[in-house]
């Protein structure tokens, strides 16, 4: 059954308001922000029509936007005890008492108002720099009521980009596999664990989902039945804009562990139709097959570097499973990891600075970081109760990692910052959840 899966679109109109004409100023340097959080005030957006239904939507936008900014780890909120004075004032530049907010310690102020009309909501939002008594930006958004979550995420993405110079990740998505329906199917959700949608209905077992670089397509492997009733692990691609789903590699044996090159033209994966499982390259249509490793050991889980020039993969040629890095054509294969008994699921950070992987040091998997040259090994998680922490995937900004863990006796999703801080649950009570894959930035 064909159906539309418009995941990147949010269904609202955005109007740009007053904006500085000079070169963009960076208010928060992210590396420094880890040492000191910026102080921000975020009083409730004003209900301009005093409409009860609109108030519920406005409260929802406030809550989602605040959760987004809190998730970033860059802000500490200052909430005035008495909002009565604020309630009597507007949110235009001339209405803001910068001295009053400065006396509270506020560095940045979010202010605005909203009104509803039919089934749509209009949000007029402003961001102010208290020290300079200037508006950083002002934007107006119009969204259908059903899209208020997307509206809130779009707004906080704008806040992040204006203050840090980097895009926010609040409109990104996370893929995962769950057996909630008694079959292992593919799902997608917002970065914060909300708005879950089931994407596949194979009634089989789905493995290793991966995003195309533009976020418009998804690849994954699942078992299908070939001639003579033979089960085979085939590679599928799902187009999220059209809902079209097709198999692009059904060669005999393994067609698994696909990873899209940054150019969107090549896919690295493990094939075994010629005998030993090795790393191959194919194009996005499944054609133009090129073999890039040739070893009797198992070569699996390829992952591209951010510049598209190198591929990291897991191999049993040590003979224990370790990580290796090679040029994209298979030349200059170098062993990357030497610690542990089994290293798997490598993922290159978006800027190419680090590689995260799951490693077995004492009988259970934890997450580790390593530099692309093999130095700087760092442990991110530490198994407390013999649980496994596996399948790491980077956020688009390279500051967060999503992973699966069975610490609650079944696999569920968790997040951790790239420095090992702020480890927390993301999605629980949704069956056994594995293979999370964080999307790139979505337009």
Place 176 in a pLDDT band, splitting at 50, 70 and 90.
very high
For 12-164, the fitting CATH number among 3.40.50.10070, 1.20.810.10, 3.40.50.300, 3.40.190.10 is 3.40.50.10070
Residue 22 has pLDDT above 70, yes or no: no
Residue 17 has pLDDT above 60, yes or no: no
Place 13 in a pLDDT band, splitting at 50, 70 and 90.
low
253 neighbors 232 (Cβ within 8 angstroms): yes
* Contacts of residue 111, Cβ cutoff 8 Å, sequence gap at least 6: 43, 45, 91, 96, 125, 126, 128
Spell 363-373 as b/e; 16+ CB within 10 A means b.
ebbbbbbbebe
pLDDT at 67: 96
C-alpha distance from residue 213 to each of 74, 230, 267 (Å): 27, 33, 11
Cis preceding linkage at 319, omega within 30: yes
152 neighbors 141 (Cβ within 8 angstroms): no
Residue 52 has pLDDT above 90, yes or no: no
d(Cα 300, Cα 358) in Å, to the nearest integer? 14
pLDDT in tens, 81-119: 777 667 778 899 999 999 999 999 999 999 999 998 888
* Alpha-carbon dihedral sign for residues 249, 245, 189, 206: negative
DSSP E strands, 191-271: 197-198, 206-211, 217-225, 231-239, 245-249, 255-260, 266-271
- How does DSSP assign 45-78, residue by residue? PEETT--HHHHHHHHHHHHHHHHHHHHHT-EEE-
191 neighbors 55 (Cβ within 8 angstroms): no
Residue 384 has pLDDT above 90, yes or no: no
Domain 173-438 has CATH 2.120.10.30: yes
351 neighbors 398 (Cβ within 8 angstroms): yes
- 3-class secondary structure, 432: coil
Give this prediction's pTM. 0.93
d(Cα 223, Cα 134) in Å, to the nearest integer? 58
Q: What is the DSSP letter of 107?
A: S
Nearest CA among 209, 183, 193, 121 for reference residue 425 = 193
Residue 190 has pLDDT above 60, yes or no: yes
Residue 326 has pLDDT above 90, yes or no: yes
Sketch the domain layout of the chain as residue ranges: 12-164, 173-438
Place 10 in a pLDDT band, splitting at 50, 70 and 90.
very low
d(Cα 115, Cα 278) in Å, to the nearest integer? 58
d(Cα 91, Cα 42) in Å, to the nearest integer? 12
Three-point CA angle 420, 341, 304, nearest 5°? 60
């Amino acid at each position: 059954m064909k159906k539309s899966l418009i995941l990147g679109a949010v269904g609202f109109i955005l109007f740009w308001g007053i904006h500085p004409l000079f070169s963009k100023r960076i208010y928060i340097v992210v590396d420094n922000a880890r040492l000191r959080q910026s102080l921000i005030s975020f009083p409730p957006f004003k209900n301009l029509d005093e409409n009860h239904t609109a108030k519920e939507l406005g409260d929802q936008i406030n809550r989602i936007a605040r959760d987004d900014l809190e998730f970033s780890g860059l802000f500490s909120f200052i909430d005035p005890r008495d909002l009565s004075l604020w309630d009597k004032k507007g949110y235009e530049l001339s209405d803001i008492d910068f001295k009053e907010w400065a006396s509270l310690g506020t560095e940045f102020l979010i202010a605005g108002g909203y009104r509803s009309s039919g089934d749509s909501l209009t949000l007029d939002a402003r961001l102010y720099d208290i020290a300079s008594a200037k508006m950083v930006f002002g934007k107006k958004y119009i969204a259908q009521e059903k899209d208020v979550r997307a509206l809130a995420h779009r707004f906080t993405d704008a806040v992040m980009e204006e203050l840090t110079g980097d895009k926010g990740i609040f409109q990104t998505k996370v893929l995962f596999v769950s057996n909630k329906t008694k079959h292992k199917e593919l799902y997608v959700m917002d970065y914060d664990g909300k708005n879950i949608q089931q994407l596949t209905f194979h009634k089989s077992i789905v493995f290793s989902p991966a995003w195309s670089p533009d976020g418009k397509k998804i690849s994954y492997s699942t078992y299908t039945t070939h001639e003579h009733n033979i089960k085979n692990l085939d590679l599928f691609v799902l187009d999220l804009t059209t809902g079209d789903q097709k198999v692009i590699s059904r060669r005999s044996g393994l067609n698994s562990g696909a990873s899209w090159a940054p150019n969107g033209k090549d896919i690295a994966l493990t094939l075994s139709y010629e005998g030993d499982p090795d790393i191959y390259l194919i194009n996005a249509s499944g054609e133009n097959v090129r073999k890039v490793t040739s070893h009797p050991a198992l070569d699996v889980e390829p992952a591209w570097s951010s510049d598209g020039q190198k591929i990291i993969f897991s191999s049993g040629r040590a003979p224990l499973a370790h990580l290796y890095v090679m040029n994209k054509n298979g030349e200059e294969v170098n062993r990357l990891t030497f610690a542990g008994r089994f290293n798997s699921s490598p993922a290159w950070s978006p800027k190419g600075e680090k590689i995260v992987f799951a490693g077995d040091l004492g009988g259970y998997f934890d997450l580790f970081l390593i530099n692309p040259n093999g130095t700087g090994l760092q442990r991110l998680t530490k198994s407390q109760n013999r649980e496994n922490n596996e399948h790491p995937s980077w956020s688009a900004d390279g500051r967060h990692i999503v992973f699966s863990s069975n610490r609650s006796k079944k696999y569920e999703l968790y997040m951790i910052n790239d420095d090992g801080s702020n480890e927390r649950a993301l999605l629980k009570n949704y069956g056994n959840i594995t293979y999370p894959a964080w999307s790139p930035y979505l337009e």
